[in-house]
Amino acid sequence: MADDFARIAAAPGRVNLMGDHTDYNDGFALPAAIPLSCRVEYAAVASQRISVSSDAAPAQGVVSLAADGTADDLRTDWPGLVSAVAASLDRRGRSPIGMTAAVSSDVPLGAGLSSSAAFEIAIGSALCDAAGWPLPSAELAAACREAELAATGVPCGPMDQLASVFGRRGHALLLDCRSLEIEPVAVPDDLRIVAIHTGVARRLAGSAYASRRDACARLTHDLGVASLRDATPTQVSDQPFGRHVVSENARVLATAEALRSNDRKALGTLFAESHRSLADDYAVSTAELDALVDAATASGTVACRMTGAGFGGCVVALLDRTDADEVIARTTERYESRTGHRPTVYPCDPSDGARVGPA
């Protein structure tokens, strides 16, 4: 990073402990911000131009665009997100103040740990600060969610951006995706959280994610309810997608309670039920995710399930701190022996949300 950048904005990725494919159905989710983050070092400049480089793609050089997000030659990937975030903030009243910035991130791409949300929130925080324009945290999250849809076409729910903004050290966030109310839930000190990547990239995540969302919208219409959150178990008993959403919402609330009481037996059961529902009813697991959950469970995790949109990526595991390293080692050996893939472990103990300050 350059030495002449006076300010830094940092935003974490997130791991979702419970509640996948519920956020876009007005349901509940239980994410936590993680120690891995995207960092933007920046300085305001007199010109009405935004210039950004990324150490993840140095060959692309510096991306330059108007401060309102307009770009002469809009590229995809992260340059498109910069443009979309700037445009979303411009529509909300940000003055066209220029900025020069450099980006770095240790949130893995395509792992289901919200690298894109971390990038958006970090860029958005920097743009707001450079313009001397404070934006309420919930509105920043909404602006970045809007930008992700514009740049990628993926109709994500509100969870990822809200978790990146509102993360709280030592706590998961019980998120009501309808009211956007957030209740911090303390994670017991003797539990360690990790995400373990299968070693297999996501397959068809974007298009399949959108198709699941469309199917849920059609089912909502057919049932005559405002959202699948309002459906009853009886109404969705013969509808696999609806059955997953309704049961997953109940599991989110039960998992929050199990964390409050450190009920490890309940956590193990709830995580196992969630994974089966995601695999069987929602059909977003893969053979590798199933194998990794099996390996982790057999190796002594407190609880384990796939996390994120699915079609590849990570599982999330709760571990007893006293033997966490041994359990991870056994899990790695079992999984690699069965699949030939080497898993990667990421630390996910709950961390604070986005911050802005001196570099």
Annotated catalytic residue 189: no
Task: Answer for the pair 224, 33: CB distance below 8 angstroms, yes or no.
Answer: no
User: Tell me, what amino acid is at 106?
Assistant: D
User: Tell me, what amino acid is at 162?
Assistant: L
The residue annotated as part of the active site, out of 160, 214, 238, 281, is 160
Q: Supply the DSSP string of 161-198, one letter for each residue.
A: HHHHHH-BTTEEEEEETTT--EEEEEPPTTEEEEEEE-
226-to-145, 196, 215, 282, 299 alpha-carbon distances in Å: 22, 36, 15, 20, 42
**What is the rounded CA–CA span in Å between residue 235 and residue 224?**
10
Closest CA to 355 of 4, 1, 2, 10: 10
114-to-24, 110, 160, 328, 339 alpha-carbon distances in Å: 15, 8, 6, 23, 26
Instruction: Give the catalytic positions in this structure.
Output: 160
